[in-house]
Amino acid sequence: MVPVSLEGRCHCGAVGWRFLGQPDSATACNCTVCRRYGVLWAYGHEGEDITVDGPSVAYRRGKAIDFHFCSSCGCVSHWRAQAVQDDGRRRIAVNLRLTDPEPIAKLPIDHFDGLNTFDDLPRDGTCVGDLWA
Protein backbone atom coordinates (compact mmCIF):
# COMPACT_ATOMS: atom_id res chain seq x y z
CA MET A 1 0.00 0.00 0.00
CA VAL A 2 1.37 3.41 -1.02
CA PRO A 3 1.35 5.85 1.91
CA VAL A 4 -0.82 8.95 1.62
CA SER A 5 2.12 10.99 2.83
CA LEU A 6 5.68 10.70 4.05
CA GLU A 7 7.04 12.44 7.10
CA GLY A 8 10.60 13.09 8.12
CA ARG A 9 12.17 14.52 11.25
CA CYS A 10 15.69 15.48 12.23
CA HIS A 11 17.49 13.33 14.81
CA CYS A 12 16.35 15.38 17.82
CA GLY A 13 12.81 15.84 16.41
CA ALA A 14 12.76 19.65 16.35
CA VAL A 15 12.54 20.09 12.55
CA GLY A 16 10.29 18.07 10.30
CA TRP A 17 8.56 17.89 6.96
CA ARG A 18 5.57 16.25 5.30
CA PHE A 19 5.41 15.18 1.65
CA LEU A 20 1.87 14.58 0.42
CA GLY A 21 1.75 11.46 -1.74
CA GLN A 22 4.72 9.36 -2.72
CA PRO A 23 7.67 10.69 -4.75
CA ASP A 24 8.50 8.92 -8.02
CA SER A 25 12.20 8.84 -7.21
CA ALA A 26 14.94 10.14 -4.94
CA THR A 27 17.58 12.46 -6.36
CA ALA A 28 21.26 12.25 -5.51
CA CYS A 29 23.07 15.41 -6.61
CA ASN A 30 26.84 15.68 -6.89
CA CYS A 31 27.11 19.46 -6.48
CA THR A 32 29.62 20.88 -4.02
CA VAL A 33 27.01 21.07 -1.26
CA CYS A 34 24.79 18.00 -1.76
CA ARG A 35 27.66 15.55 -2.04
CA ARG A 36 28.96 16.78 1.30
CA TYR A 37 25.54 16.52 2.96
CA GLY A 38 24.87 13.04 1.53
CA VAL A 39 21.19 13.85 1.04
CA LEU A 40 18.49 12.28 -1.15
CA TRP A 41 15.96 14.83 -2.38
CA ALA A 42 12.25 14.67 -3.17
CA TYR A 43 10.92 17.80 -4.89
CA GLY A 44 7.69 19.74 -4.68
CA HIS A 45 6.20 23.13 -3.93
CA GLU A 46 5.97 24.80 -0.54
CA GLY A 47 2.54 24.66 1.00
CA GLU A 48 1.18 22.37 -1.73
CA ASP A 49 2.76 18.93 -1.59
CA ILE A 50 5.46 19.81 0.95
CA THR A 51 5.16 21.49 4.34
CA VAL A 52 7.88 21.98 6.94
CA ASP A 53 7.70 22.68 10.64
CA GLY A 54 10.05 23.59 13.44
CA PRO A 55 12.84 26.13 13.72
CA SER A 56 15.55 25.65 11.13
CA VAL A 57 18.67 27.59 10.28
CA ALA A 58 19.55 28.25 6.65
CA TYR A 59 22.78 28.23 4.71
CA ARG A 60 22.30 30.52 1.71
CA ARG A 61 24.08 29.20 -1.35
CA GLY A 62 24.43 31.84 -4.02
CA LYS A 63 21.22 33.37 -5.33
CA ALA A 64 19.17 30.22 -5.85
CA ILE A 65 18.48 28.10 -2.78
CA ASP A 66 18.77 28.00 1.00
CA PHE A 67 19.72 24.72 2.69
CA HIS A 68 17.88 24.31 6.00
CA PHE A 69 19.09 22.30 8.97
CA CYS A 70 18.35 21.82 12.65
CA SER A 71 20.44 24.05 14.89
CA SER A 72 20.40 21.42 17.65
CA CYS A 73 21.36 18.15 15.93
CA GLY A 74 22.61 19.49 12.58
CA CYS A 75 20.48 17.31 10.26
CA VAL A 76 19.77 18.83 6.84
CA SER A 77 15.99 18.82 6.48
CA HIS A 78 15.23 20.61 3.22
CA TRP A 79 16.17 23.23 0.70
CA ARG A 80 13.95 26.13 -0.29
CA ALA A 81 14.17 28.31 -3.39
CA GLN A 82 15.00 31.91 -2.60
CA ALA A 83 12.70 33.22 -5.34
CA VAL A 84 9.08 32.53 -6.10
CA GLN A 85 8.41 31.19 -9.61
CA ASP A 86 6.42 33.17 -12.19
CA ASP A 87 3.32 31.14 -11.26
CA GLY A 88 3.58 32.29 -7.62
CA ARG A 89 4.80 28.92 -6.32
CA ARG A 90 8.05 28.25 -4.47
CA ARG A 91 10.16 25.14 -5.12
CA ILE A 92 11.26 23.09 -2.14
CA ALA A 93 12.89 19.71 -1.65
CA VAL A 94 13.01 17.48 1.41
CA ASN A 95 15.77 15.16 2.55
CA LEU A 96 14.34 11.64 2.25
CA ARG A 97 17.02 10.31 4.59
CA LEU A 98 14.96 11.76 7.46
CA THR A 99 12.00 9.42 6.89
CA ASP A 100 11.57 5.76 7.74
CA PRO A 101 13.41 3.55 5.23
CA GLU A 102 10.62 1.08 4.45
CA PRO A 103 8.19 3.35 2.52
CA ILE A 104 10.96 4.64 0.22
CA ALA A 105 13.17 1.55 -0.11
CA LYS A 106 12.03 0.76 -3.66
CA LEU A 107 12.30 4.31 -5.00
CA PRO A 108 14.82 4.52 -7.84
CA ILE A 109 17.67 6.94 -7.36
CA ASP A 110 18.02 9.60 -10.02
CA HIS A 111 21.48 11.08 -10.34
CA PHE A 112 21.80 14.78 -11.11
CA ASP A 113 25.06 16.35 -12.25
CA GLY A 114 24.88 19.59 -10.29
CA LEU A 115 28.66 19.90 -10.44
CA ASN A 116 29.38 20.15 -14.17
CA THR A 117 26.50 19.93 -16.63
CA PHE A 118 23.30 20.53 -14.60
CA ASP A 119 21.82 17.53 -16.44
CA ASP A 120 20.02 14.42 -15.27
CA LEU A 121 22.21 11.35 -15.62
CA PRO A 122 20.94 7.90 -16.71
CA ARG A 123 19.46 5.69 -14.01
CA ASP A 124 21.75 2.87 -12.96
CA GLY A 125 19.13 0.65 -11.33
CA THR A 126 20.00 1.66 -7.79
CA CYS A 127 17.13 2.05 -5.33
CA VAL A 128 17.15 3.81 -1.95
CA GLY A 129 17.05 0.45 -0.13
CA ASP A 130 20.33 -0.54 -1.82
CA LEU A 131 22.05 2.23 0.14
CA TRP A 132 20.81 0.89 3.46
CA ALA A 133 21.37 -2.83 2.84
Q: Which letter does DSSP use for residue 108 in this model?
A: B
Using pLDDT thresholds of 50, 70 and 90, give the confidence band for residue 1.
Answer: low
Q: What is the pTM of this model?
A: 0.92
Q: In this structure, which long-range contacts are made by residues 108-113, counting pairs with CB atoms below 8 Å and at least 24 apart in sequence?
A: 108/25, 108/26, 109/25, 109/26, 109/27, 109/28, 109/40, 110/25, 110/26, 110/27, 110/28, 111/27, 111/28, 111/29, 111/30, 112/27, 112/28, 112/29, 112/30, 113/30
- The residue extents of the domains of the chain are 5-131
Q: What is the pLDDT of residues 84-107, one digit of tens each?
A: 999 999 999 999 999 999 999 999
Answer whether CATH 3.40.190.80 is correct for domain 5-131.
Answer: no
Q: What is the pLDDT of residues 48-62, one digit of tens each?
A: 999 999 999 999 988
Element (H, E) at 56: strand 56-61
Q: How far is CA 12 from CA 15, 58, 73, 100, 117, in A?
A: 8, 17, 6, 15, 36
Q: What is the pLDDT of residues 113-123, one digit of tens each?
A: 999 998 999 99
